[in-house]
Structure 1
């Protein structure tokens, strides 16, 4: 676990992020670390898809064990990446292309390119392509998908929109946080696609439910 003395808090403008200021975060991800960073749905934990150590740490932080029904989620750079890591019938692709980028999580059957440690017990994975500059820069400069897990409130949780409170709570669990200012958590809409292309709404969030 990281100590408070080693904790880094990178302050950035989420609307006009300087890629150079994100370099320490990218380097930490490349080393297999878990970071906290801002997204379009609130602050989240993140690690590189290729890091089994990072995936294990993120699972512990989120309390999602390997046999859990809830899939872990990754941020991807393009729709082509979504097709690489998830089984996407034509029906699903048409819906995804219409909705993304945006505040949606798409749950798909995972392909063989997804590490086993990331899949849920039924072999599914969540994928996001957000309309958020910090997220997009991180994935671009990391050169691979970014495993992500939202910071969800509990009875003893701080106000999760306040970076100072987040640092105080998590400085011994992670070593770096990207501070994008106060962000009120608003979850994404979660859509599940089966291999036939049928769609199930698992959660209603920011994104409007489309008419298919």
Structure 2
């Protein structure tokens, strides 16, 4: 199924089919601030397994899955971090960043990489914020395009054909050029830059 929506002025009514799919343990495709991504509910083991399969992640993957949240307080709930790290996070978010942190006990094990880490995102995207609000829990997310890939236009017409039978709903926000998020890794001394992307590199 495909639904068309304006990512900057999303309609809760139009997002209904996507929300229904998420609540039924399905995976959707939707536009984020950095390109199209897979999405499922954090509480959905089936959905998380589906995204791991679509991303090609196995149990020993060094890359964690990421989740979208709407509140800075969610960082303290789902991750363990030093006060100095939180100060930087508070300063730069919302924005196009993925913060790699030690996962708390509230994060499903199949979300974590082999080091027990997860990625947390709080993008400045009206559509993403609305999805998380309406779902009532974080949204597990995984970009279609790896940061190592050559960028290519992500066209919903093509995505619908490619992912038919593999995702339940395609949320069509129009064609997008993917631009990966800036990845910041939490270390003992603070945050370090693992990948430069769309988010401006902060003073960490």
What TM-score range do you get, normalising by the shorter chain?
over 0.9
Q: Does 1:148 align with 2:141?
A: yes
Of stretches 159-168 and 94-103 in structure 1, the one that deviates more from structure 2 is 159-168
1:69 is matched with 62
Q: Does 1:198 align with 2:190?
A: yes
Query: Structure 2 length normalisation: TM-score?
Result: 0.95
Q: What is the correspondence of 1:67-146 to structure 2 with a 5 Å cutoff?
A: 67-146=60-139
CA shift for structure 1 position 66: 2.1
Give the ranges of 4+ consecutive aligned residues of structure 1 lying more than 4 Å apart after TM superposition. Answer: 157-160
Q: Aligned residues, how many? A: 202
CA shift for structure 1 position 141: 0.6
SS at match of 2:175: coil
Query: Structure 1 length normalisation: TM-score?
Result: 0.91
SS at match of 1:130: coil
Residue ranges of structure 1 left out of the alignment (5+ in a row): 1-7
SS at match of 1:21: coil
Could you say what the CA RMSD is over the residues aligned between the two structures, in angstroms? 1.6
Q: Does 1:47 align with 2:47?
A: no
1:177 is matched with 170
Q: Does 1:207 align with 2:195?
A: no
SS at match of 2:13: helix
Residue ranges of structure 2 left out of the alignment (5+ in a row): none
1:16 paired residue among 9, 16, 19:
9
Deviation per CA, 1:159-201: give whole Å up to 9, x if none: 542100111111121121100001110000000113x352221
Q: Does 1:28 align with 2:12?
A: no
